[in-house]
Amino acid sequence: MLNYFFHSQLSLGLAECLVAALLALAVTLLARTRAPGLLKELPLAELRGVIQIVAVGAILAFMLRGPQWTSLLVLIAMMLAAASIVRKRAKKIPRAFMLALISICTGAGIVLAVMIVFGVIPLKITMLVPVGSMVIANTMNTQSLFLDRLRGEATSHVGEIESALALGASADAAVLPYLNAAFRACLIPSVDNIRSLGIVWIPGIMAGMVLSGASPLYAALYQFVVLTTIFSASALACFVSSHLVTRRIFTVHEQLLLR
């Protein structure tokens, strides 16, 4: 119906956004007794979201005219943003920004680099930016989960951790069971995504590839590639941060800082 009125792709896109946004607003209006605050928040969130994503689209359009390596700059900016979001989530952990930045850069960075070297992810803006952003975003989520879970485990086992210290254990040994528990827990969503692939959900990138004309079979295989890459990047990032985090939650004299 819309394409009857709008002929350029851009105006059509904007009109489509408007329909989706109004629908969301209508649903919220209907459900306003459940979450009164949401009604105030939503229009602003929608406006913000649309501006951000349009800006990204515009930058991509601009980059497409330039050299392909500029996509690397975009990924670096994304990693910085991801680290600052993890820091907000892990407020109780001192110096969490550097921790998250180092972990995300090593995890996502190394895994993406390997995939690029093998040509699995082509060094093309149209592929590297969307796939890279998925990998980085998921690595970020896993990092937040890891640090939050670790904080939770440690603060609910202060007695055990300090008992271990009091028996002459190193900080690493005292916190080890809780590090391992957090590590296992934060990777569960990533493993479950691989397990449920295709049955429970057909993720966005496959939908996108099919929409833009790739063979559904190739798109399906590529979806597996993306999800396992996400797992590798997340696991590597957590591995790195599990080694760096002890120095942040203990003092140099092996005193527990969290409580």
Partner 1 sequence: MLTCSQLGRTLPPPEARTLLSDVNFTLERGEVLAVVGPSGAGKSTLLRLLNRLDEPTSGAVTLNGIDTRTIPPRELRRRIGMVMQRAYLFPGTVAENVAFGPKQQGKNISTDQIDALLTHVGLAGYASRDALTLSGGEAQRVAITRALANEPQVLLLDEPTSALDETARHSVEALLESLIRERHLTCVWVTHSIEQARTMAGKVLAVEAGRVSAYGIAAEVLHA
Q: How many residues bind partner 1 (CB under 8 A)?
A: 18
- In eight-state DSSP terms, residue 92 is T
Identity (one letter) of the amino acid at 78? M
Is 1 an interacting residue with respect to partner 1 (CB under 8 A)? no
Q: Which x/- pattern, by CB under 8 A, does the window 175-214 give for partner 1?
A: --x-------------------------------------
Task: Tell which one of 21, 102, 169, 220 touches partner 1 (CB under 8 A).
Answer: 169
Q: How far is the CB of 257 from partner 1 (least distance, A)?
A: 11
Is 42 an interacting residue with respect to partner 1 (CB under 8 A)? no
Is 173 an interacting residue with respect to partner 1 (CB under 8 A)? yes
Is 159 an interacting residue with respect to partner 1 (CB under 8 A)? yes
Six-digit token string for 38: 């949401």
Give whichever of 12 and 176 is closer to partner 1, judged by the CB atom: 176
Distance CA 106, CA 102 (A): 6
Is 156 an interacting residue with respect to partner 1 (CB under 8 A)? no
Task: Tell which one of 168, 200, 212, 217 touches partner 1 (CB under 8 A).
Answer: 168
Six-digit token string for 107: 């995890």
Task: Tell which one of 11, 156, 163, 180 touches partner 1 (CB under 8 A).
Answer: 163
Is 259 an interacting residue with respect to partner 1 (CB under 8 A)? no
Identity (one letter) of the amino acid at 116? I
Distance CA 83, CA 71 (A): 19
Q: Torsion angle of alpha carbons 242, 248, 249, 251, nearest 10°?
A: 130
Q: How far is the CB of 94 from partner 1 (least distance, A)?
A: 12
Is 164 an interacting residue with respect to partner 1 (CB under 8 A)? yes
Task: Tell which one of 25, 46, 72, 162 touches partner 1 (CB under 8 A).
Answer: 162
DSSP assignments along 185-214, one per residue: HHHHHHHHHHHTBTTTB--HHHHHHHHTT-
Is 46 an interacting residue with respect to partner 1 (CB under 8 A)? no
Six-digit token string for 220: 């399906």
Q: Provide the CA 120 distance to its chain's centre, in angstroms.
A: 21
Judge residue 225's burial from the number of C-beta atoms within 10 Å of its C-beta, 0-12 exposed, 13-18 middle, 19 or more buried: middle
Q: How far is the CB of 69 from partner 1 (least distance, A)?
A: 46
Provide the binding-site residues for partner 1, judged by CB under 8 A: 159-160, 162-170, 173, 177, 251, 253-256
